[in-house]
């Protein structure tokens, strides 16, 4: 009898361990397949070409679509996305524009190297060098979410190259200290990487909790596969480590934002969703007045990912603005 009980206890423990391992593997997700330089894929009759480039000591992945002799639109994603988060816009604009969508440093198939360059200004400088290597002389710039922290700096410091700037779900001039305190966990060397390693849970939570309209399962699955790539958690954590926000330096941060906004001499479109829990409309009070030439447009019936929740509305807003 005692032997049977021992076997039963061991069996239960083993099943529990296997269940935990199985859950952990499920939570992490499975990486998408790797692309190679020049590889193409056709989606809705639009040819998308994958490219890799060396810039600022990093290897970057980006896609290209459309005629390279036409005006260029560059898309920069946020968390937890990749170039694929802009797929609707890429397909809609490729007939009339030269479209570039990058995997940000640390994301997708771009370099996961932790090089100590983790502030918004440093990453922006590295990203701008990528644009130079690609050979883009002038371009329309579009950023979303965390991507706007980088595109803000690019637009402010490359006014001779950025023709117009579309800023989607970018932070306003207010700093939410409650949310900032939550970011402390993501900066922790162990806890932060552990949380960011759960790609499936992180992506599914983002697309369920922060949206109003349903995002296609294919897009969510692709985002999970990109965020599941080896080294992503540690590389993405660098963005949070580089975000030095505290009660003591809030005024300095807001002042730096205002100074960057004031440098943007190009027209700016502030495209904000009506129901984004991360960037409520009330938090944007006075934002458009901080730019020399900006207008605020609200995307009704959308949450944090309007380019995927209301793709046609966002695409039409971009086209109307740049034309």
pLDDT digit string, tens, across residues 243-255: 877 777 888 888 9
Give the span between the Cα atoms of 107 and 80, in whole angstroms: 8
**For residue 188, is it within any domain?**
yes
Taking each helix axis as running N to C, give the angle between helix 217-227 and helix 232-242, from 0 to 180 degrees, rounded to the nearest 10: 90
**For residue 261, is it within any domain?**
yes
**For residue 12, is it within any domain?**
no
* 305: containing domain: 40-322
**For residue 25, is it within any domain?**
no
**For residue 16, is it within any domain?**
no
**For residue 70, is it within any domain?**
yes
C-alpha dist (Å) from residue 319 to 27, 118, 166, 304: 38, 33, 10, 20
pLDDT digit string, tens, across residues 191-210: 999 999 999 999 999 999 99
**For residue 2, is it within any domain?**
no
Q: State the pLDDT at residue 279.
A: 87
Give the span between the Cα atoms of 221 and 240, in whole angstroms: 24
Domain CATH number, residue 317:
3.40.50.1820
- pTM for the full model? 0.91
Mean pLDDT of 286-302: 95
Pair type for strands 40-43 and 46-55: antiparallel
Could you tell me if 270 and 294 are in contact, meaning their C-beta atoms sit under 8 angstroms apart?
yes
Task: Find residue 46's DSSP bridge partners.
Answer: 43
Number of domains in the chain: 1
Handedness of CA 243, 133, 41, 26 (dihedral sign): negative
Q: How confident is the model at residue 181 (pLDDT cuts 50, 70, 90)?
A: low
**For residue 266, is it within any domain?**
yes
Q: State yes or no: pLDDT of 9 exceeds 70.
A: no
């Amino acid at each position: 009898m005692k032997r049977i009980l021992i076997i039963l206890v061991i069996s239960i423990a083993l099943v529990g361990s296997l269940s935990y391992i199985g859950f952990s593997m499920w939570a992490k997700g499975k990486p998408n397949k790797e692309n190679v330089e020049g590889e193409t894929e056709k989606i809705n009759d639009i040819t998308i070409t994958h490219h890799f480039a060396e810039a600022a000591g990093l290897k970057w992945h980006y896609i290209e679509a459309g005629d390279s002799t036409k005006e260029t639109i560059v898309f920069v994603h946020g968390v937890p996305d990749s170039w694929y988060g802009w797929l609707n816009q890429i397909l809609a604009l490729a007939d009339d524009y030269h479209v570039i969508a990058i995997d940000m440093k640390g994301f997708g198939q771009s370099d996961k190297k932790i090089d100590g360059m983790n502030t918004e200004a440093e990453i922006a400088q590295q990203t701008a060098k990528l644009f130079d290597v690609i050979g883009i002389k002038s371009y329309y710039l579009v950023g979303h979410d965390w991507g706007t922290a980088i595109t803000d700096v690019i637009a402010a410091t490359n006014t001779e190259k950025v023709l117009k700037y579309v800023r989607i779900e970018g932070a306003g001039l207010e700093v939410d200290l409650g949310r900032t305190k939550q970011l402390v966990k993501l900066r922790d060397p162990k806890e932060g990487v552990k949380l960011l390693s759960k790609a499936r849970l992180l992506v599914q939570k983002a697309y369920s909790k922060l949206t109003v309209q349903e995002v296609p399962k294919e897009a969510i699955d692709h985002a999970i596969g990109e965020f599941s790539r080896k080294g992503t958690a540690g590389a993405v954590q660098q963005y949070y480590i580089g975000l030095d926000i505290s009660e003591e330096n809030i005024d300095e941060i807001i002042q730096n934002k205002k100074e960057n906004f004031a440098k943007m001499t190009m027209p700016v479109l502030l495209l904000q969703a009506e129901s984004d829990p991360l960037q409520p409309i009330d938090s944007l009070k006075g934002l458009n007045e901080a730019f020399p030439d900006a207008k605020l447009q609200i995307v009704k019936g959308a949450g944090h990912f309007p380019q995927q929740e209301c793709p046609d509305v966002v695409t039409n807003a971009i086209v109307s603005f740049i034309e």
